[in-house]
Chains A and B, each alone.
Chain A
Amino acid sequence: MKDPELLYLVGGVVAVLLLASLVTRLLIRKSGETPVLVNLRQRVNAWWWMMLIFSSSMALGRGGVFGFYALLSFLALREFITLSPTPRGDHRTLTWVFFLILPLHYLFAWAPWYGMFLIWIPVYAFVFIPIRSALAGDTDRFLERTSRIQWGVLTCVYFLSHLPMLLYLPIPGYEGQNAKLLFFVVLVTQISDVMQYVFGKLFGKTKIAPKVSPSKTREGLLYGGAAATLIGTGLWWATPFTPLAAAAMSALLVAAGFFGGLVMSAVKRSLGAKDWGRGIPGHGGVLDRLDSLLFAGPVFFHITGYYFGTHMASSHAQPAWMKEALRLWMGP
């Protein structure tokens, strides 16, 4: 992580946050502590903390990054399941999900055992979840309950874990620099969120889906998305992309981020809530902040891999130490 370009990225974000804090303070001095400004201050302060934790996880290396995303998945899934009314019959299933399926998924991701990372949740976990619930004997709304848990695990754990997986993507000529790629994805997606919100507040007229998310407007998406794409393009030097490819990938992040936020908002509202939680002051829950990254992560990961023609399955097969550990445990 001694990459000077990574430090430039962190420094840039710190500078923007400093500016945001300064502007907020000046606005509050001018107009007093109005609810909007207090919320703004809370949001900016939360950004400082999120930025600090995100960057220090990277400073801790791969273990730190995977540990950080495992924790985020845990907190996100916690919010998801808390809002979904799971009855008594799901208790044991959920115990397995939280305490075994999630940690093992991140173990396979960190190892890295790419094949297992890909199928552990869509195959093994999704086979196990309905079996365990069926054994509990409650048939009331069985399909709905099972789908709910599976969707929660898919988005909060499987999709989210593609972000740290970017560290392993073998890109010719970019070896050892993948942390910047992860930074790029998170930065562009989050900036796109902020820009869409700001431009939506300034120029927003046409609501895209007022019932799902009243703050998402066509103007906000167009202007905010364009601004985020411009910023992403301007960061091409930190990525393995040409400026043109960086622009296309930024636009992809904007689109995937937008739809991720839209879909998670629809899920949230179908569960009868306005915020996922109250963990991050001013923002809501962890999922309110992560929603746009859920779709952006896996889509970006696979398209980037395809673009550079990488073969994760052969370059990251089951690691020898894991094979050895399993052999010791199960016998030859």
Chain B
Amino acid sequence: MSSSLLAFLVRLATGVRLLHDLPEDGKRRIYFANHSSHLDFMVIWAALPARQRAWTRPVAAAEYWEKGPLRRWLSSRVFNAVLIPRDLARMRHDDPMGTMLAALEEGSDLIVFPEGTRSESGALGPFKPGLHHLASKRPDLVLVPVFLENLSRILPKGELLPLPLMGQAVFGPPLAGPADGESKAAFLDRARDAVLQLSRGQLTPHSDEGS
């Protein structure tokens, strides 16, 4: 109930439309998108039909979302986030891939941002290999590219108050998993191209490592 209300408010504030027809074929889905704002996963989550929303969990940075009671409450109670450490030392010991695979195993769909961090410039950074790991471990996954429009203007990195501009979440056709003999880099490039194409030129690739 409260989550339906929140999703409605997010759609109202950002102008994102509710999706209607997602096939319920029992397959697990991974939504992957460009990342420029804290609102990003909320927008994808709010665009999903209520039933799908119930079992869709965002993958987010543990360091950020474990700080403070409000963030903890939001990430654990409201969004039921899968928290992944960014810190290398913690990563070795926490096994982020295992956590994500376990979540999929339990029947959750995931929202991931393969750039790994929010882009400052709005350009699309290189994809981290996590998406490739997941797709090769679970070939049955449906990989859905999503382009998030204008979110970097609504709430850019480092700002507290969102602007009431209109954004959009464009869901693309599923991306085929890694083909036989396709290298990791080639697959990640293909995934990144899928998001770039959905943006129809609004997103520009930037090649140097994002911070």
Residues of A within 8 A of B (CB): 74, 78-79, 81-82, 86, 88, 91-92, 94-95, 98-99, 277
What separation, in Å, do the CA atoms of A91 and B159 have in the docked complex?
8
* Beta-carbon contact of B156 and A78 below 8 Å: no
**Interface residue from A79, A94, A277 paired with B163 (Cβ < 8 Å):** A94
* Beta-carbon contact of B150 and A91 below 8 Å: no
Q: Nearest chain A CB to B119's CB is how many angstroms away?
A: 12
- A contact face: mostly helix, strand, loop, or mixed: helix
Q: Nearest chain A CB to B22's CB is how many angstroms away?
A: 21
Q: Which of A81, A86, A91, A277 has the most CB of B within 10 A?
A: A91
Q: Which of A82, A95, A98 has the most CB of B within 10 A?
A: A82
A-B contact pairs, 14 of them (CB 8 A): A78-B164, A78-B165, A78-B166, A79-B166, A81-B163, A81-B165, A82-B150, A82-B165, A82-B166, A86-B153, A91-B153, A91-B159, A98-B163, A277-B15
What separation, in Å, do the CA atoms of A4 and B43 have in the docked complex?
48
**Interface residue from B150, B156, B161, B164 paired with A88 (Cβ < 8 Å):** B156
What separation, in Å, do the CA atoms of A81 and B159 have in the docked complex?
18
Residues of B within 8 A of A (CB): 15, 150, 153, 156, 159, 161, 163-166
* Beta-carbon contact of A98 and B159 below 8 Å: no
Closest 5 CB pairs of A and B: A82-B166, A82-B165, A95-B161, A78-B164, A94-B163
What separation, in Å, do the CA atoms of A88 and B118 have in the docked complex?
14
What separation, in Å, do the CA atoms of A78 and B159 have in the docked complex?
18
Q: Which residues of chain A are near B153, meaning CB under 8 Å? A: 86, 91
Q: Which residues of chain A are near B159, meaning CB under 8 Å? A: 91-92
What separation, in Å, do the CA atoms of A79 and B161 have in the docked complex?
18
What separation, in Å, do the CA atoms of A95 and B155 have in the docked complex?
11
What separation, in Å, do the CA atoms of A92 and B159 have in the docked complex?
9
Q: Which residues of chain A are near B164, meaning CB under 8 Å? A: 74, 78, 98
Q: Nearest chain B CB to A327's CB is how many angstroms away?
A: 30
Q: Nearest chain B CB to A60's CB is how many angstroms away?
A: 22
What separation, in Å, do the CA atoms of A98 and B153 have in the docked complex?
14
What separation, in Å, do the CA atoms of A327 and B161 have in the docked complex?
30
Q: Which residues of chain B are near A98, meaning CB under 8 Å? A: 163-164
Q: Which residues of chain B are near A78, meaning CB under 8 Å? A: 164-166
Q: Which residues of chain B are near A74, meaning CB under 8 Å? A: 164
Given contacts A78-B164, A94-B163, 7 further A-B contacts (CB under 8 A): A79-B166, A82-B15, A82-B150, A82-B166, A91-B163, A98-B163, A98-B164
Q: Which residues of chain A are near B150, meaning CB under 8 Å? A: 82
Q: Nearest chain B CB to A148's CB is how many angstroms away?
A: 14
* Beta-carbon contact of B156 and A91 below 8 Å: yes
What separation, in Å, do the CA atoms of A86 and B161 have in the docked complex?
16
Q: Which residues of chain A are near B163, meaning CB under 8 Å? A: 81, 91, 94-95, 98
* Beta-carbon contact of B156 and A277 below 8 Å: no
What separation, in Å, do the CA atoms of A78 and B15 have in the docked complex?
10
Q: Which of A79, A92, A95 has the most CB of B within 10 A?
A: A95
Q: Which residues of chain A are near B161, meaning CB under 8 Å? A: 95, 99
Q: Which residues of chain A are near B15, meaning CB under 8 Å? A: 82, 277
Q: Nearest chain B CB to A260's CB is how many angstroms away?
A: 22
Q: Nearest chain B CB to A279's CB is how many angstroms away?
A: 8
Query: A79 — nearest CB in chain B belongs to which residue?
Result: B166
What separation, in Å, do the CA atoms of A78 and B166 have in the docked complex?
7
Query: B162 — nearest CB in chain A belongs to which residue?
Result: A95
Q: Which of B150, B159, B161 has the most CB of A within 10 A?
A: B161
Query: B166 — nearest CB in chain A belongs to which residue?
Result: A82
Q: Nearest chain B CB to A241's CB is how many angstroms away?
A: 39
Q: Which residues of chain B are near A91, meaning CB under 8 Å? A: 153, 156, 159, 163
What separation, in Å, do the CA atoms of A78 and B14 have in the docked complex?
10
What separation, in Å, do the CA atoms of A94 and B154 have in the docked complex?
10
Q: Which residues of chain B are near A79, meaning CB under 8 Å? A: 166
Q: Which of A74, A81, A88 has the most CB of B within 10 A?
A: A88
What separation, in Å, do the CA atoms of A95 and B153 have in the docked complex?
11
Query: B155 — nearest CB in chain A belongs to which residue?
Result: A91
Query: A99 — nearest CB in chain B belongs to which residue?
Result: B161
Q: Which residues of chain B are near A94, meaning CB under 8 Å? A: 163
Query: A96 — nearest CB in chain B belongs to which residue?
Result: B161
What separation, in Å, do the CA atoms of A74 and B159 have in the docked complex?
21
Query: A285 — nearest CB in chain B belongs to which residue?
Result: B166
What separation, in Å, do the CA atoms of A99 and B162 have in the docked complex?
11
What separation, in Å, do the CA atoms of A81 and B166 have in the docked complex?
9
What separation, in Å, do the CA atoms of A92 and B153 have in the docked complex?
11
Q: Which residues of chain B are near A86, meaning CB under 8 Å? A: 153
Q: Which residues of chain A are near B165, meaning CB under 8 Å? A: 78, 81-82
